[in-house]
Amino acid sequence: MANTLSFTFIALLIITTATRIWLGRRHIAYVQAHRKEVPAAFSSTISLDAHQKAADYSSAKTRLVISEASAQAILLALLTIGGGLQLIDNFWREMLATQEIARGALVIVSAMIVSSLVDIPFDYYKTFTVDEKFGFNKMTRSMFFSDMVKHAIVGVLLGAPILFAALWLMQGAGEYWWFYLWVVWSVFNLLMLAVYPTFIAPMFNKFTPLQDESLKQRIEALLVKCGFKSQGLYVMDGSARSSHGNAYFTGFGASKRVVFFDTLLERLNPHEIEAVLAHELGHFRHHHVIKRIALMFFVSFIGLALLGWLMNQDWFYAGLGITQTSDYMALLLFLLVSPVFLFLLRPFMASYSRKNEFEADDYAAKHANAKYLVEALVKLYRDNASTLTPDPLHSAFYDSHPPASIRISKLAAYTS
Ligand SMILES: [Zn+2]
């Protein structure tokens, strides 16, 4: 059984990594093949220069994803079958022979640090080489590292209680520990959703109430028309880090708020801003957020039940390169290895997400003006240098948003 697991895991790791590389290369080839000419539907709104910039930016980002996929796969193989996790465990077993919970936390944190070490150089390169070259980066190096430290501190402050709760329940709560952990985890997530916009997001960005009176009135009129109550309209200094523009609707109950990136307000006219917000309201009206949360709860329930069973199977450890079994190692293996198995679900998740985007567009077309949403989307595609010609298979596999041409032709049907 252990050998079967080793074999299946390695085979899947190779298949998923090869798929990621193959899709990436297809995407680059497709984008480059369509680089010479702006697609007919955009010929009057997007210049050839902007189109080529988008092609080159997409290709550069995809090349980075390809290298990162390979690096992550190699590291994961080294940590598991290669014996890396067992080495980390041996080290902490010598340092801390008793106190299994504390040792478990140290082993898990050490493993997480090691796996994030692979991602840091890629993030750094993306920010200071790729984004910089295409004029999107606004971060300084000191900001990059201070953000990293802040993220680590927030991660430890928020993660430590849940990690200790998990290890404590695994050790002492009996056969149904996984169910109790699921309850704790779900409550924790709901709490995070409630506190994130008011307490955590402000640690990274500045949020100021929207000043522009006429825009404010227009947006409030839209909110009333759509039957929404929000706890305020905010502008976020997205421009401090990147020149990509966005808008979102966040939070729950009393912390519900509308947030606009300052970059978005600068580039779109009030009609377009209204249309973009109507799209965001469409997500809320169709309960996309709640459905996403429900799905996450369902998946974590299945996952934890599975972990409850796996932790008692010796082959689960042996098959993934672990010689000494422990509760914390079961948890760690599960966290590291399950994404490889879940990768195959990715196209289904992406397709579900694209369906939600169409519903939100449909809502926006009915409550605002579809023509302005099209204008806004074209501007956002242009200013974010998003490609108008993604490889169809790459897009079907990954993209949370439908390709520009399909989305815009659907919206155009409302205006004619
Ligand atoms: Zn959307």
CA of 384 relative to ligand 1 center, distance in Å: 16
pLDDT digits (tens, 9 = 90+) for 234-270: 888 876 666 665 667 666 655 577 888 888 888 888 8
pLDDT digits (tens, 9 = 90+) for 83-102: 999 999 999 988 888 888 99
**% the chain with pLDDT above 70:** 95
Q: What's the rounded Cα separation, in Å, for the pair 274 and 280? A: 10
Question: What pLDDT is stored for residue 182 in this prediction?
Answer: 96
Of 249, 235, 346, 231, which Cα lies nearest the Cα of 289? Answer: 249
Question: What pLDDT is stored for residue 33 in this prediction?
Answer: 94
pLDDT digits (tens, 9 = 90+) for 142-189: 988 988 888 888 888 888 899 999 999 998 888 899 999 999 999 998
Token pair of 372, please?
């302005």
Continuous segment of H or E residues that includes residue 67: helix 48-79
At a CB cut-off of 8 Å and minimum separation 6, what does 77 contact? 10, 13
Q: What is the mean pLDDT of residues 38-50?
A: 86
Q: What is the mean pLDDT of residues 48-64?
A: 92
Neighbour tally for 394: CB within 10 Å? 20
Please provide the distance, in angstroms rounded to a whole number, between the alpha carbons at the two ends of the chain. 62
**Averaged pLDDT of the chain:** 88
Q: What is the mean pLDDT of residues 127-155?
A: 87
pTM of the entire predicted model: 0.83
Question: What pLDDT is stored for residue 344 in this prediction?
Answer: 87
Model confidence at 337, pLDDT cuts 50, 70, 90, reads: very high
CA of 282 relative to ligand 1 center, distance in Å: 8
CA distances from 201 to 100, 154, 178, 193, 238 (A): 34, 11, 30, 11, 11
Contact 379, 268 (CB under 8 A): yes
Task: Tell me, yes or no, if 361 is annotated catalytic.
Answer: yes
Question: What pLDDT is stored for residue 317 in this prediction?
Answer: 94
Of 11, 10, 140, 29, which Cα lies nearest the Cα of 391? Answer: 29
Model confidence at 301, pLDDT cuts 50, 70, 90, reads: very high
Question: What pLDDT is stored for residue 251 in this prediction?
Answer: 61
CA of 292 relative to ligand 1 center, distance in Å: 13
Instruction: Catalytic residue, from 68, 89, 272, 280: name it.
Output: 280
